[in-house]
Amino acid sequence: MEKKEDLIQNFKTAISSTVKSISNIENLEVSFGNQSKSNSNLIVKLPELDDVNNKINYTKMRALADSEALKIKFSSSKIFKLNEPKGDISKKLYQIAEKIRYEKLGSDQFKGIKSNIQDYYNERLSGLDLSKDENKIVESFENYLRLNILDLKNNNKINKIFKSSQENFNKTFKKKIKIITDSLENQSKFSSLVSDLISDLDIDDGFEQEESKTDDKENNNNDGKFDDNQQNTKKKRDEENQEMSIDSGAPNLENLSADADNDSEEIEIEDSSSEPYKRKTSLKNFGDEKYKSYTDEFDEIIKAEDLESEVELNRLRGNLDQQLLQLKNFISKLANKLQRKLLAKQNRSWNFDLEEGLLDTSKLTRVIVDPLNSLSFKKEKDIDFKDTLVTILIDNSGSMRGKPISVAAICADILSRTLERCLVKVEVLGFTTRHWKGGSSREKWIKNEKPTLPGRLNDLRHIIYKSADTPWRQA
pLDDT at 232: 52
Looking at the predicted structure, is the pLDDT value of residue 403 above 60?
yes
pLDDT in tens, 388-402: 789 999 998 888 888
State phi, psi for 335 to the nearest 5 degrees: -65, -45
User: Residue range 47-65: average pLDDT?
Assistant: 79
Task: Give the lowest-confidence range in 88-97, 205-214, 356-365, 387-396.
Answer: 205-214
Check: CB of residue 74 under 8 Å from CB of residue 102.
Answer: yes
pLDDT in tens, 423-475: 788 999 999 988 877 788 888 888 898 888 888 888 899 999 999 888 887 77
Mean pLDDT of the chain: 76
Looking at the predicted structure, is the pLDDT value of residue 103 above 70?
yes
Give, as one character, the DSSP assignment of residue 194.
H
> Within 13 Å and on the Cβ side, how many CA atoms surround 182?
5
User: Residue range 373-399: average pLDDT?
Assistant: 81
- Rounded to whole angstroms, how far apart are CA atoms 44 and 61? 12
More confident residue, 2 or 268: 2
pLDDT at 271: 40
Helix (H, G, I), strand (E, B) or coil at 425: strand
- State the pLDDT confidence band at 262, using cuts at 50, 70 and 90: very low
User: Residue range 253-270: average pLDDT?
Assistant: 37
Task: Give the lowest-confidence range in 12-16, 32-36, 116-120.
Answer: 32-36
- Rounded to whole angstroms, how far apart are CA atoms 127 and 295? 36
Looking at the predicted structure, is the pLDDT value of residue 256 above 60?
no
Query: What ranges in 202-267 are assigned the alpha helix state H?
Result: 203-219, 228-240, 253-256
Looking at the predicted structure, is the pLDDT value of residue 249 above 60?
no
- Rounded to whole angstroms, how far apart are CA atoms 424 and 119? 47
- Rounded to whole angstroms, how far apart are CA atoms 18 and 64? 12
pLDDT at 187: 93
User: Residue range 201-230: average pLDDT?
Assistant: 51
pLDDT at 130: 65
Beta strands of 339-413 (E only): which ranges?
Answer: 350-354, 358-359, 377-380, 389-395
pLDDT at 43: 84
pTM of the shown model: 0.45
- State the pLDDT confidence band at 305, using cuts at 50, 70 and 90: confident
- Rounded to whole angstroms, how far apart are CA atoms 230 and 85? 36
pLDDT at 96: 93
- State the pLDDT confidence band at 206, using cuts at 50, 70 and 90: low
pLDDT at 133: 67
Looking at the predicted structure, is the pLDDT value of residue 223 above 50?
no
- Rounded to whole angstroms, how far apart are CA atoms 181 and 197? 14
Look at residues 100, 26, 20 and name the one whose alpha carbon lies nearest to residue 65.
20
pLDDT at 80: 92
- Rounded to whole angstroms, how far apart are CA atoms 311 and 385? 41
Task: Give the lowest-confidence range in 64-73, 239-248, 335-344.
Answer: 239-248
- Rounded to whole angstroms, how far apart are CA atoms 437 and 458? 7
Beta-ladder partners of 44: 30
- State the pLDDT confidence band at 386, using cuts at 50, 70 and 90: low
Check: CB of residue 15 under 8 Å from CB of residue 46.
Answer: yes
Percentage, residues of the chain above pLDDT 90: 11
- Rounded to whole angstroms, how far apart are CA atoms 129 and 392? 27
pLDDT at 293: 85
Check: CB of residue 425 under 8 Å from CB of residue 388.
Answer: yes
Looking at the predicted structure, is the pLDDT value of residue 110 above 60?
yes
- State the pLDDT confidence band at 367, using cuts at 50, 70 and 90: confident
- State the pLDDT confidence band at 95, using cuts at 50, 70 and 90: very high
Task: Give the lowest-confidence range in 49-53, 144-148, 294-298, 352-356.
Answer: 49-53
C-alpha torsion sign, points 21, 23, 28, 31? negative
State phi, psi for 9 to the nearest 5 degrees: -65, -40
More confident residue, 197 or 226: 197
- Rounded to whole angstroms, how far apart are CA atoms 42 and 254? 44
